[in-house]
Amino acid sequence: MKKILFTTICAFFFGTTMAQGEETNESPAPLLTSHHIGLSAGGTTGIGFSYRYWPTRWGFQVTTIPIFAQGDIWINGGASALFLMKDNDRVDLFSYFGTRINSNIFEEAIYDPITFEYLGNEKQVDNSFALGLGIGLKIDFWDVLNLNLQTGYGVRNLTNEPGTFLTGEIGIYYQL
């Protein structure tokens, strides 16, 4: 009885250590997260550097860039809600709702309207706000790189003189 018990324990011990020591030629799958960084440009989602968090069917994206040059400041920022409608192997279909704010602060030369004499510079501020919604395609090139093409309908200049427009958006993202 002792020999059978000892043999069973030894077989179990050596069997489990041998199973753990097996090596495979397959490389492990990359650990992908829900975080993406990239560049994006759109009329209703913003222009600039972009961060996207898309853990489930719902996700969000923020995009912004400030540009400074000799007294001029241009800031563009956007935020978007994303909803995955169809998940495929290479191309996903999604919808989005985006908001964008554009602020331009610049100096404008002032001239006398009659004599055209230079009177100096005056600081000008131009702000605009846009909303839009539409559909998009997320095209996966590799496991970690994808291209986003979006189109939709938007309303621009909500604070001044509102107008509607068709919008196009494009972005390239690296999945962390």
pLDDT digits (tens, 9 = 90+) for 16-29: 444 444 444 555 54
Residue 129 neighbours by CB under 8 Å, 6+ apart: 99, 100, 101, 102, 156, 157, 158, 159
Q: CA-CA distance, 9 to 93, in Å (whole number)?
A: 55
Q: CA-CA distance, 136 to 93, in Å (whole number)?
A: 6
pLDDT of amino acid 28: 52
Residue 165 neighbours by CB under 8 Å, 6+ apart: 43, 153, 154, 155, 156
pLDDT of amino acid 82: 96
Name all domains of the chain by residue range, CATH numbers in brackets: 38-175 (2.40.160)
Q: CA-CA distance, 54 to 72, in Å (whole number)?
A: 35
CA dihedral of residues 113, 115, 117, 119 (deg, nearest 10): -40
Closest among 130, 129, 133 to 153, alpha carbons compared: 133
Higher-pLDDT residue of 150 and 25 is 150
Q: For residues 136-162, give the mean pLDDT.
A: 92
Q: CA-CA distance, 145 to 173, in Å (whole number)?
A: 6
pLDDT digits (tens, 9 = 90+) for 73-113: 999 999 999 999 998 889 999 999 999 999 998 888 889 88
pLDDT of amino acid 13: 44
pLDDT of amino acid 124: 86
pLDDT of amino acid 142: 87
- Which residue type sits at 163? G
Could you give the percent of the chain with pLDDT greater than 90? Answer: 54
pLDDT of amino acid 106: 87
- Which residues face 110 on adjacent strands? 120
How many CB atoms are located within 10 Å of the residue 132 CB?
27
Q: CA-CA distance, 176 to 54, in Å (whole number)?
A: 12
pLDDT of amino acid 147: 96
Residue 118 neighbours by CB under 8 Å, 6+ apart: 109, 110, 111
